[in-house]
Amino acid sequence: MFQFARIKLTLWYLLIIMTISMAFSAIIFDFTTREVHRFASAQRHRIQELLELDEFFFSNRPRKMPLIIEIDDEELITEVQKRTLISLGIVNGIIFVLAGGLSYFLAGKTLQPIQEMVDEQNRFISDASHELKTPLTSLKTAFEVFLRDKNPQLTDSKELIQESLIDVNKLQYLSEALLTLAQFQQPSEKHTFSRLNLNINITSTIKKIGPLAKTKRIAIKINLNDLYVTADQYKLSEVWIILLDNAIKYSPEKSTIIITAKKSGNCAEIRVSDQGIGISQKDLPHIFDRFYRADSARSHQKGNGFGLGLAIAKKIVEQHRGTITVTSNEEKGSTFIVKLPLLKK
Ligand code: ADP
């Protein structure tokens, strides 16, 4: 499809360039013809004057040699026109070949971002459908098995509903996460950025996630300086939720998570450190990719998460003109570092 579009665009570029080139050629041809006419007529006048002078000075003397000058203007003009046409033809031929190559190259460059966007969207759709398929198939199978039972018991029904709810929750989380990611693709998305105290934003987020940490008896320690940034408080809060949720998910019971926020140059540097399973060197470069789940995490936390959290966190941080990076030691823990442009108090 893109090859066809590229060729079509190349032909359009070529048509435009050749139209301009031909128009200039026509102007050059017309100009040259006029100039030759003008030159021939001026030449004729000059010779005429010379002949008249000759007549005047030598009219009383016999001429040694008769002066016969014959000028064929038409032949000269036709010859010049022929040569001009040949030269312009050669130049246009060269322009055609060069412009053809250049147009093909430019058409490729023009279409490249569109192709990348379409590829990205196709990948997104195929990844999303793949992820949606698993819980949906499991729901469908459970319902079908249940329906085959001629005398279902109330306890069985309750059990089925409870199990189904787990899948429904997963589907709900997945659809919400996909929607959030899809919103980042829209350039028209509105931001409601305002001056924000990071300390307050992080502390209030910790309050929300506290109960989850308690289920694993994980302690969350904070060391936050009073720093101000321009941000969308809800979106930024989402980043801390994703990082803390992961830290809790991938940490053993009774471990500690530390959050620090300090000034680093012109940035606010926020670190979320855990004492969890860590991330292998092989997985580190990919963990911010959409739908990427590290092997170790998959085996420990089977069926938990879709690999979308960090992709969303990265998009949000980038929207705030910040960066997010990670350092990790397997079996020792990970530290996620978020840097955001600092606002003066
Ligand atoms: P998921 O929903 O699977 O956690 P994320 O995008 O949040 O998706 O994370 C992607 C992967 O990065 C996870 O599957 C996990 O392998 C790894 N990861 C993220 N945070 C941590 C962490 N704090 N400790 C260990 N591994 C982590």
**3 state SS for the chain:** CHHHHHHHHHHHHHHHHHHHHHHHHHHHHHHHHHHHHHHHHHHHHHHHHHHHHHHHHHCCCCCCCCCCCCCCHHHHHHHHHHHHHHHHHHHHHHHHHHHHHHHHHHHHHHHHHHHHHHHHHHHHHHHHHHHHHHHHHHHHHHHHHHHHCCCCCHHHHHHHHHHHHHHHHHHHHHHHHHHHHHHHHCCCCCCCCEEEEHHHHHHHHHHHHHHHHHHCCCEEEEEECCCEEEECHHHHHHHHHHHHHHHHHCCCCCCEEEEEEEEECCEEEEEEECCCCCCCCCCHHHCCCCCCCCHHHHHHCCCCCCCCHHHHHHHHHHHCCCEEEEEEECCCEEEEEEEEEEECC
Query: How many angstroms from the chain centroid is the CA of residue 98?
Result: 30
Atom of ligand 1 nearest to the CA of 311: 6
For ligand 1, atom 8, which residue shows the shortest CA distance?
Answer: 307
- In one letter, which amino acid is 259? I
The pLDDT assigned to 266 comes to 93
Q: 196: which residues sit within 8 A by CB, 6+ positions away?
A: 228, 229, 230, 231, 233, 236
Cα 106 to averaged position of ligand 1 atoms, centre (Å): 41
The pLDDT assigned to 302 comes to 46
CB atoms within 10 A of CB 11: 14
Query: How many angstroms from the chain centroid is the CA of residue 324?
Result: 19
Does residue 250 have its Cβ closer than 6 Å to ligand 1?
Answer: yes
What parts of the chain have a pLDDT lower than 70?
58-72, 186-190, 295-304, 345
Cα 294 to averaged position of ligand 1 atoms, centre (Å): 7
Radius of gyration over alpha carbons of the chain, in Å? Answer: 40
**3 state SS for 102-168:** HHHHHHHHHHHHHHHHHHHHHHHHHHHHHHHHHHHHHHHHHHHHHHHCCCCCHHHHHHHHHHHHHHH
For ligand 1, atom 11, which residue shows the shortest CA distance?
Answer: 293
Cα 234 to averaged position of ligand 1 atoms, centre (Å): 21
Does residue 205 have its Cβ closer than 6 Å to ligand 1?
Answer: no
Name the one residue in this structure whose structure tokens are 């004492």.
Answer: 275
Residue to mutate (ligand 1; options 310, 335, 337; most atoms within 8 A of CB): 310
Does residue 287 have its Cβ closer than 6 Å to ligand 1?
Answer: yes
For ligand 1, atom 14, which residue shows the shortest CA distance?
Answer: 293
Residue 5, token pair as written in the block:
């579009």
Does residue 334 have its Cβ closer than 6 Å to ligand 1?
Answer: yes
The pLDDT assigned to 70 comes to 52
Atom of ligand 1 nearest to the CA of 293: 14
Q: What is the pLDDT of residues 55-67, one digit of tens each?
A: 777 666 555 555 5
Name the one residue in this structure whose structure tokens are 């809790």.
Answer: 248
pTM recorded for the entire structure: 0.70
Query: How many angstroms from the chain centroid is the CA of residue 55?
Result: 84
The pLDDT assigned to 43 comes to 84
